[in-house]
Chain A
Amino acid sequence: MNKTINLAQGNGGEENAELISKIFYQHFKNDILEKCEDAAIIDGGRLAFTTDSFTVSPLFFDGGDIGKLSICGTCNDLAMMGAKPAYMTCAVIVEEGFEIADLETIVVSMKKELEINGAIIVCGDTKVVPRGSVDKIFINTTGIGVVQKEGISSSSVSQADTIVISNQIGRHGATIFANREGMKFSSALQSDCTSLWPLVEKLLAEDIAITAMRDATRGGVAAVLNEWAKQSNVCIEVNEESLPVSDEVRGICEILGFEAYNLANEGTFVLAVKSDDAKKVVDILQSFEEAHHAAIIGQVTHQYDGRVILLSAWGSKRFMDLPTGELLPRIC
């Protein structure tokens, strides 16, 4: 590892994982932490507990803002463990000179998202720091959820499972990139930022045999699938043609040399479900507007344990690797 922190170490990929394991896990290690799940399962399996900090530029982007993101992000991590979001904290670090009106817009947007999740903020903290000490506003939220279905884990994926994606991939990452760089490709491009609990609640109510769920945030779908393949020691085979990617996201990827499966999502999740239930899962998800493009994307084998394989429509195959380094546009 380098002597100083660099941006690649926050990419949700390999360098990020290395930093976490060599510094944080090294000193904090305990059985719960080392499960590496989206949320920790505590209190004898009754509660799910998680935290997330949010910094995004621009603060207001197509399809959401940092407020909406800060609730969706934490609640989605709870939902991914089969837990209903309940109690949350909100800590804000805000820069001197920040517009009060903007702050209020952000908080109102948090409130709206809390209602969708049925959660409430029960304590919080506010710090104001001198200009230049933070980039406008950083928000941390912590959430507690009540586990509705036990045993969901990224270490249990097996050949009996089928892999499903809830919607088109890479929209948040592509939107932020385009908004940040002032690129105007298409007005139809929007972040997928959304709360996933209503979708998960429906799946649980239908008694779907869910093995694992994870929202594909930083590092994208590739990061989730690679983690599952490693943690469960299986090979996940993805049919490239079945990965839902919007024309707008594909366009940005073509121009800049990115892969949609490496781009962040904030309201799209991957599921491993028992194969018999896969079709039903897709049908249930598709009944929600925010999961209209849900699809079966792959299967689990032992062809290359610990790796993810992409199968092309013309019979060739390649690894779907973890993203490495900063997301940088290619030269030509």
Chain B
Amino acid sequence: MSCLELKDLYDGFRDPKVIKSFQKLIALEATKLLKPINIMEVCGGHTHTIMKYGLTQLLPNNINFIHGPGCPVCIMPKERIDHAYTLAMQDDVILLTLGDMIKVPGSHGSLQDARSRGADVRYLYSPMDALKVAEENPDKKIIFFAIGFETTTPMTAALMDSVIKRNIKNIFFHINHVTVPEAMELLVEGRDDTHCIDAFIGPAHVSVISGAKIYEIFPKKYHIPVVVSGFEPVDVMESIYMIVKQFNEGRSDLEVQYKRLVSYEGNLKAQGLIHHYFEKVDLFKWRGIGRIPNSALRLRDEFAALNAEVIYKNILSYEEINNHKLCICGDILRGLAKPHDCTVFGTACKPTSPLGSCMISSEGACAAYYKYGNLL
């Protein structure tokens, strides 16, 4: 049996011939559309793919993209970033988090700034690496600042599982996990004739965990087609083709393009682990969007001993902080505006001096527009 190489996972999905074929198929199908359609790609990863591979340049004018709120760094309110900073600045704390979080500025600076002021801040590839850090630093409190959508939540739960089973006493959790469908529903409920979302491209990695079933409500209740899509250019082009076909055939279905790993039910074991440790609540205001019912996960009360928010409640502030007045990240995250509509885009707000969260994360729409130029 031949061994599967890493490149086998992406090579074919960037094949110029296949991409060009889909371009032709979409163009042909799009001539039959009765009106222009607005497709929201919910996830920042898809925004990144679309901009990086210049896919908008391959589409006819009657297919538009609206960029969605699915970037875990972008939607993190300043209050939560300040929590990370405050925890990191404690003498006996090592703060661990995932890469992109390091750069996000809160009211006192970013975690990168905290580090230059003496804090021990480290980024992880896998949350399980926290076990090693804890073992090597028995006299320190290791706090894992957990962020991300359904994709990263199971890893946090798995780490928690190990901490409990191995009776590790120096790992704690600050949980900032959020969920996708609740935000999508809020956007659909809030739409009007000028800001219409006609179809969704759903992130495949979320559905690998949670299944395609989480999007069922959109075709059923709102008659909005959803295609669960992979992240390679061929995946996204195929998904666009599937969506346009649905319109021309008068359908609004839930379809899976990323059949390589997505099932209707998803990963039941991961779902079980998440359910064991977390409960769905309205934990914090999404940056730019506000409160969304049941959109975040909270550590269940029985695990309060692991919860950094409980342990450090005396030093963590919950006062809401306003965003920069000129920044329109909120409108961008809700799909009401594009980066170019912002007066400070590329001038006062750049990746090196971001005013808003969409410019910070590599998956933010503003960062993608700035980096790749949205050339036409």
Contact = CB atoms under 8 A, between A and B. Distances in A.
B103 A326 contact: yes
A325 B352 contact: yes
Interface stretch (B110-118, B180-188, B238-246, B309-317): B110-118
Contacts of A319: 371-373, 375
Interface stretch (A2-10, A127-135, A287-295): A2-10
A317 B57 contact: yes
A324 B361 CA distance: 12
B257 interface: no
A247 B123 contact: no
Given A313-B16, A331-B147, A6 B53 contact: no
Interface in A301-332: 307, 309, 312-319, 321, 324-326, 328-332
B287 interface: no
A181 B125 contact: yes
B75 interface: no
Given A329-B125, A331-B152, A318 B373 contact: yes
A257 interface: yes
A15 B116 CA distance: 15
A6 B113 contact: yes
A185 B363 CA distance: 25
Given A247-B5, A314-B20, A332 B151 contact: yes
A257 B362 contact: yes
Nearest to A185: B6
Interface string B99-128: 111110000000011011100000101000
> Which of A183, A241, A251, A332: most chain B Cβ within 10 A?
A332
A254 interface: yes
Nearest to B151: A332
Nearest to A257: B362
Interface string A169-184: 0000000000001010
- Highest count of chain A CB atoms <10 Å: which of B98, B148, B375: B375
Contacts of A14: 351-352
Interface size on A, as a range, is 35 or more
A332 B207 CA distance: 13
Contacts of A321: 370-372
A250 interface: yes
Contact of B73 (A307, A312, A331): A331
Given A315-B57, A319-B375, A330 B363 contact: yes
A103 B53 CA distance: 47
Nearest to B58: A316
B375 A328 contact: no
B52 interface: yes
A319 B376 CA distance: 12
B372 A318 contact: yes
Nearest to A252: B6
Contact of A4 (B7, B116, B123): B116
Interface string A249-260: 011001111000
B318 interface: no
B202 interface: no
B19 interface: yes
A301 to B, nearest CB: 14
A6 B114 CA distance: 10
Given A2-B113, A6-B113, A314-B16, A332 B148 contact: yes
A222 to B, nearest CB: 11
B180 to A, nearest CB: 12
Interface string B340-376: 0000000000011000000001110000001111010
A241 B52 CA distance: 14
Nearest to B233: A314
A8 B57 CA distance: 33
B45 interface: yes
Contacts of B123: 328-329
A46 to B, nearest CB: 39
A330 B147 CA distance: 12
Nearest to A2: B113
Given A6-B116, A15-B352, A321-B371, A326 B102 contact: yes
B133 interface: no
Interface in A182-199: 183, 185
A326 B116 CA distance: 13
B116 A5 contact: yes
Given A2-B113, A318-B54, A319-B373, A331 B98 contact: yes
B45 A317 contact: no
B20 A251 contact: no
B51 A318 contact: yes
Interface in B87-102: 98-102
A11 to B, nearest CB: 10
Contacts of A326: 102-103, 112
A307 B371 CA distance: 11
Contact of B99 (A8, A307, A330): A330
A328 B103 contact: yes
Interface in A36-73: none
12 contacts: A5-B116, A8-B112, A255-B6, A257-B99, A312-B54, A316-B53, A316-B54, A316-B375, A318-B51, A319-B375, A328-B102, A329-B125
8 tightest Cβ-Cβ pairs between the two chains A and B: A316-B54, A328-B99, A313-B16, A251-B6, A318-B372, A319-B373, A329-B99, A316-B57
